Amino acid sequence: MKAASADPASRSVRQRNKPFGNVTRGTTNPNRLRRVDRWLAGPEAWRLRMDQAAGGNPLVVDLGYGGSPTTAVELYSRIHAVCPDAHVTGIEIEPERVRIAKPLEHAGLNFAVGGFELPVPGNPTMVRAFNVLRQYDEADVALIWATVCARLSPNGIFVDGTCDEIGRRSTWVALERNGPISLTISMRFGAFELPSDVAERLPKALIHHNVPGQKIHNFLQALDQYWLEGAAMASFGNRQRWLLMCQKMYDAGWPVVRAPSRWRLGELSVAWSAVDPN
């Protein structure tokens, strides 16, 4: 997907007449998005319950699922486990990819051709776009974020994330209707030497700002500092070392979410204000 023209008029015409975006490379692997799915079905599941209580079946969108519908099928399974009434729609801008996925449709799961305009009825509770925006220019991100966020339900969330080929290093920005609220990093223990190794998987909005003087660089450097200071904990395992690092970040005043149960998974979330390049 490539963002539409910067001209508002041509942008409007393009969105009315064709999906907003261009075809991505489409590469994916089974279980690649398990970390973000675990987060959506865990601490973010309250959004599904709130929209369900409001009188509807929460809608979850896998936006730009790629050449295989695997990630959409997996998302359905993980969301359905915590909210059986939720409906998952996989959206792809390439019609052939949707045609291939159609035989997998069943109650609660369907596939549709479209882009960032989200060709679905109503307002989604969750929209997940992983390894999609990284194939865009940074200048495109603001428009894409605004387009998707405008479609969210009042309790909705849009996740713009990136991960490696097998999902061992992941990062994602969480956005609500009014814009970004947090950055989360999630890594498999043993898949990194320093926390800053995740830098190459930062979302497009941040990846070019990992340079001295920028907030995201300061954040990653602080992680590295406390990780190295906790070297003595390595004899008890990397999980204990990670837990200590997260606690030190919290104690130092970083606006990280104090959630030891999530820290134990190799996950840490920080307020967007701490990394915002703007």
pLDDT tens, position by position, 18-71: 778 767 766 777 899 999 999 999 999 999 999 999 988 999 999 999 989 999
Is residue 183 within 8 Å of residue 272, measured between CB atoms? yes
Per the structure block, which two tokens stand in for 40? 């959506």
> What is the CA angle 126-139-152, rounded to 5?
20
pLDDT at 118: 97
Within-domain flag for 50: yes
pLDDT at 155: 97
Within-domain flag for 116: yes
Within-domain flag for 125: yes
Tell me the C-alpha to C-alpha distance, in Å, between residue 224 and each of 32, 187, 217. 25, 14, 11
**Phi, psi (deg, nearest 5) at residue 222:** -65, -40
pLDDT at 37: 98
Nearest residue to 140 (alpha-carbon basis) of 16, 272, 263, 22: 22
pLDDT at 130: 96
Within-domain flag for 266: no
pLDDT at 22: 62
Within-domain flag for 194: yes
Count of the separate structural domains present in the chain: 1
Within-domain flag for 52: yes
Within-domain flag for 71: yes
Distance CA 73, CA 69 (A): 6
Distance CA 172, CA 39 (A): 11
Question: What global pTM score does this model have?
Answer: 0.91
Q: Which CATH number covers residue 160?
A: 3.40.50.150
Spans of the chain below 70 pLDDT: 1-17, 22, 25-26
Within-domain flag for 42: yes
73 backbone φψ class: left, alpha, beta (φ>0; ψ -120 to 50): alpha
Q: Domain span at residue 153?
A: 8-208
